[in-house]
Chains A and B, each alone.
Chain A
Amino acid sequence: MCQRYGMSLLAVLVVIGCGGGQPQDAAAKTDRTASPEPAMHLAQAPAQAQPASGGGSAAVNVTVQFEGAAPARTKIKMDADPVCRQQPAAAMESEEVVVNSNGTLKNVFVYVKDGATGTFPTPSTPATLEQSGCWYRPHVFGLQVNQPLDIVNSDATLHNINAKPTTNTPFNIAQPVKGMKTTKKFAKPEVMVKFKCNVHPWMSAYAAVLTHPFFGVSDEQGAAAVIGLPAGTYTLEAWHETYGTQTQTVTVADGETKSVAFTFTAQ
């Protein structure tokens, strides 16, 4: 219902109606047709889930290069769990550093750290964190403050989701049964919230909770896109779980798409 109004009115509605800790369920029911739902494709980061919600027409295409020798991915021993150990060998490699075949770095979270002004609607489309093949999918993702996060267990084994935010309220919940879904929200912005599974200590995921939709995660090509930006000057930060953060400033005009490259170096 909110979506039928203009952006500014929407912002006001969000502040008045949907904000202040009100549940988003009403919006969730009426919003479904308003946007396509790539968020349901679990392998994709929710960054691409709300392509138009930023309200602007500028974009930044980010490439994350990797320099130096790529560290070997550690083989994970999954023997202890009869479900996990059925994974193909290729799926038993650590995810801390994944260097793509084209020399780029995967799983880098790229987002507007400074410069996004105004209020942005809270998406009612949930972000999804799936436990599949004894890994978290996606490994790195973003979502907005108070956006629902569906946590799903697609494995026929016990997973626990131990979320360790420092600003938001932490939780540690069990999902013993395949198909279980738990919906959570984070009420405050925080980069990053770490998730881990105590039962399977190799499993970890990172979620950035932002007030806006201007974020992306580098893929198998090392590419991440920040889209829907209003014209302006922004500080972009690139975050990697092992190599830390880098920032760059970028200025875009309406309708403009700029390219930005980050380079992380082997330690």
Chain B
Amino acid sequence: MTCRLSRHLIVGVAALVFWVGARPVSAAERPARDLAAGKAAYEQSCARCHGVDGRGDGVDAKRFYPRPRDLTMGVYKFRSTASGTPPTDEDVFQTITRGLPGSNMPDWQHLSEETRWQLVEYLKSLSPVFDQTAPEPVPIADEPGPARADLAKGKALYTQLGCALCHGAQGRANGPSAATLVDDWGKPIRPSNLTQGWNYRGWSASRDVMLRVLTGIDGAGMPSYTGAVSPEDAWQLAYYVASLHEPPHEHRIARAAHVTGALPQTVDDPAWAAAESTLVRLRNAVSSDGEWVDPPTVSAVSFQVLANEDIMVLRVSWDDPSEDNADALTLLLKPEATRGDVVTLHAWPYHGAPRLDVSYWSAGRAEAFELLASTFEDAVERRGASVVLASAAVYDDGRWRLVLQRPLQPAFPAGAAVITPELFAPFAFAVWDGGKPGARAVSPWVDVALGPVQPHSE
């Protein structure tokens, strides 16, 4: 037993050291096939989502976007193989090991490498495809290296290959075909927002993107470009896609700066250049029947805060593939007495939940306003007392940018949240994509610190 444990430990440590990005583990390290072990691991770790029989119908499946795959069909998204052929064992191993960002599929690196290999064997046993069709690795080229990246060529390929039809001219998932896509099961799906490298299901290293271009994403709409683009050019396209990534500034504490004098009134005011930007990821609230109708479209908001002694101004930007009068955003703040409550907006409102301070902006309304709301619907329907806020918004090529002003210490509505310089204030956002009135995406709470921050606080 000690022997086995230490062997696992060695394998585990070796895996940690060895595991870098897309690097596959050589077949020599694979354990002998043990379907019983694979099945046990599957039932323990996978069945809850992918279903006891692997049909993608686990107890949580309906609440997920994207849906867990039906493994009995043998259709795998992330492969190094030709469209329509099954993945290599290494491809499946890698998907298990890395997980799928932006989905509910986590990484499984806490399982031993041996267990993950047994899972690969078990997954293959769920579909006859692996017996009927051999994986056909697509021809790929050696990576030219970033020093030989030709972004002009990559951009030309992006246009020539029609990427913008789905992914949009600037990669914001707002191409003309984006809203009409369905997967092979007839469920609506959305193309990847290429500016959000952190949110690519198949990871966003240039090698990953190059493979997605050449192999396609089976089951989803993304076709294989093998034959349409050379393996060398696929790298250049991947480098161009990498150039679209906008670095996610995910600060644990968002810093808001004091300014003296006039606050910026517009989204393009040069004063914003000096303000720190913080990205917060959103998660969609599931509809009341617990099943997805439409895929979520807004994945994150980025915000900046500037303030003088009386007023704070936020500039918030978020990608929304279509402009609509019902597009809306709220800033949520916790009134003083409720700081310890409402741990997550996903659970709000719950029975006896406190009211929250809501600053609501909608594209179709003349003005933004602030109120204390018991539910999200309160804000949307503007019930009760509210205060008009100054705002300005611009929509351009799949992106909203909004400037929203709010007093630090509003006198009205009574009980409104107070922002005190030098103290943390929890901020959160909710976003509605007007194309889907029922769908609401909400962020976690982010601590915002207003005021000068000591440069060496340790």
Contacts and interface: CB of A to CB of B under 8 A. Distances in A.
A201 B182 contact: yes
Contacts of B160: 176-177
A5 to B, nearest CB: 34
A174 interface: yes
Interface string B155-178: 000001110011000000000110
Contacts of B223: 160-162, 172-174, 198
A176 B225 contact: yes
* Majority DSSP secondary structure for residues of A touching B: loop
Contact of A199 (B82, B83, B85, B166): B166
A198 B161 contact: no
A171 B165 contact: no
Interface in A149-173: 157-158, 160-164, 169-173
A162 B185 CA distance: 13
B224 A174 contact: yes
A200 B161 contact: no
A72 interface: no
B218 interface: yes
B84 A160 contact: no
A173 B180 contact: no
Given A81-B176, A201-B182, A172 B165 contact: no
Given A161-B223, A182-B227, A199-B166, A170 B161 contact: no
B224 A158 contact: no
Interface in A174-190: 174-177, 180, 182
Given A158-B162, A199-B165, A199-B166, A172 B177 contact: no
A171 B84 contact: yes
B228 interface: yes
A161 B177 CA distance: 15
B133 interface: yes
A20 to B, nearest CB: 16
Interface in B75-89: 75, 82-85
B218 A172 contact: yes
Contacts of B222: 172
* Residues of A in contact with B, size category: 20 to 34
Contacts, number: 81
B177 A200 contact: yes
B228 A169 contact: no
Contacts of B166: 198-199
A198 B228 contact: no
A232 to B, nearest CB: 33
A90 interface: no
A173 B218 contact: no
A169 B225 CA distance: 17
A174 B218 CA distance: 12
A134 B418 CA distance: 58
A169 B218 contact: no
A80 interface: yes
A173 B180 CA distance: 18
B232 interface: no
Contacts of B165: 81, 157-158, 199
A173 B227 contact: yes
A56 B405 CA distance: 84
Given A80-B180, A171-B84, 20 more contacts: A80-B177, A81-B165, A81-B177, A158-B162, A160-B223, A161-B223, A162-B223, A164-B184, A172-B83, A172-B216, A172-B221, A173-B83, A173-B225, A174-B161, A174-B225, A176-B161, A177-B228, A180-B227, A198-B223, A201-B181
Interface of A: 79-81, 157-158, 160-164, 169-177, 180, 182, 198-201
